[in-house]
Amino acid sequence: MTKITLDIHRFPCLNDNYGYLVHEAFSGETAAIDTPDADKYLAEAERMGWHISHILNTHWHPDHAGGNLKIKQATDCTIYGPAGEAEKIPGIDVALKQGDRVELGRAIADVLDVPGHTLGHIAYHFAEQNTAFVGDALFALGCGRVFEGTMEMMWNSLSKLKALPPQTTIYCAHEYTQSNARFAETIEPGNARLTEYVTWIDAQRAKGLPTVPTSLEKELATNPFLRADVPELQAAMGHPGDAVATFAEIRGRKDRF
């Protein structure tokens, strides 16, 4: 059987968001991953020659769902979003929770509940394509602020993402990597993989180039928020044997950084 592929078009929008259009060529269906800027999404879809058939919202924040209604009015697309935030997702048609699946033509996304940043946050994992769209749950060298959930909730969500295959490509929603890198170096100054990664990040940004997507394998080796279960890091943070407390310590330091 022919491997089902996805064409993914990334573009900057708003101040530091990334927009993503995901196209399944056999069916011609195209998903907008979140909707920070309706006009930019519609213009980029037209430029690519794609018609937006789906909106896949990760959470309710306006820089993720604010363009829903305008895009729906223009395209008659179907809006998918988290069941836990359905009342906050403009125009939602299909409410999703852990274990649900979304079909984009012949490609299938598994829905993961990853609360913490918001209480209903979800991610979309296209397993066959080794691709995950994680919204603000996980960033390159970072994670979302814990606005609505608890530290334990956020760590459990990150642990769920950590368990995906390491070759998974992670599409996060913001270009925060360089500032995240400055912080990560304060947590693990002796991490050689991190040092190498930071050099690459600085070179990319100096040329005005993006640092996302990233790979889960790279993040597992360098992202301090994913490494709260590493004994050496737990000891350095003063919470040996306690991943949740270690994560909370790191997140607190980042919030004050």
Q: Which of 167, 149, 146, 170 is nearest to 254 (CA)?
A: 146
Task: Choose, from 54, 59, 121, 125, the residue flagged as catalytic.
Answer: 59
pLDDT tens digits, residue range 197-239? 999 999 999 999 999 999 999 999 999 999 999 999 999 999 9
CB atoms within 10 A of CB 235: 12
The verdict on whether 16 is a catalytic residue reads no
In angstroms, the CA 36 to CA 21 distance is 12
In angstroms, the CA 219 to CA 44 distance is 29
235 in a domain, yes or no?
yes
The answer to whether 117 and 148 have CB atoms below 8 angstroms apart is yes
Range of 152's domain?
7-256
**pLDDT recorded at residue 1:** 60
184 in a domain, yes or no?
yes
In angstroms, the CA 127 to CA 140 distance is 20
DSSP state of 118: S
**pLDDT recorded at residue 2:** 72
CATH number, residue 120: 3.60.15.10
The verdict on whether 121 is a catalytic residue reads no
Helix, strand or coil, per DSSP, at residue 96: strand
243 in a domain, yes or no?
yes
pLDDT tens digits, residue range 94-117? 999 999 999 999 999 999 999 999
Phi-psi region of 135 (alpha: psi -120 to 50; beta: other; left: phi over 0): left
44 in a domain, yes or no?
yes
State both tokens at 91: 């125009």
Task: Choose, from 34, 37, 136, 239, the residue flagged as catalytic.
Answer: 136
Q: Per this entry, what is the length of the chain? A: 257
156 in a domain, yes or no?
yes
Q: Is the model's pLDDT at 136 over the cut of 70? A: yes
**pLDDT recorded at residue 3:** 85
pLDDT greater at residue 147 or residue 1: 147
Q: Which of 118, 257, 243, 232 is nearest to 180 (CA)?
A: 257
Domain count, the chain: 1
Task: Choose, from 61, 121, 125, 239, the residue flagged as catalytic.
Answer: 61
pLDDT tens digits, residue range 44-91? 999 999 999 999 999 999 999 999 999 999 999 999 999 999 999 999
**pLDDT recorded at residue 124:** 98
The verdict on whether 54 is a catalytic residue reads no
2 in a domain, yes or no?
no
1 in a domain, yes or no?
no
The average pLDDT across 182-196 equals 97
Residues 6+ apart with CB under 8 A from 189: none
Residues 6+ apart with CB under 8 A from 165: 130, 216
Q: Which of 4, 240, 211 is nearest to 105 (CA)?
A: 4
Q: Which of 94, 140, 137, 130 is nearest to 113 (CA)?
A: 137
Give pTM, 2 decimals. Answer: 0.97
The answer to whether 140 and 212 have CB atoms below 8 angstroms apart is yes
Task: Choose, from 63, 113, 121, 239, the residue flagged as catalytic.
Answer: 63
Q: Is the model's pLDDT at 24 over the cut of 70? A: yes
Task: Choose, from 34, 37, 113, 117, the residue flagged as catalytic.
Answer: 117
% of residues, the chain, pLDDT over 90: 99
33 in a domain, yes or no?
yes
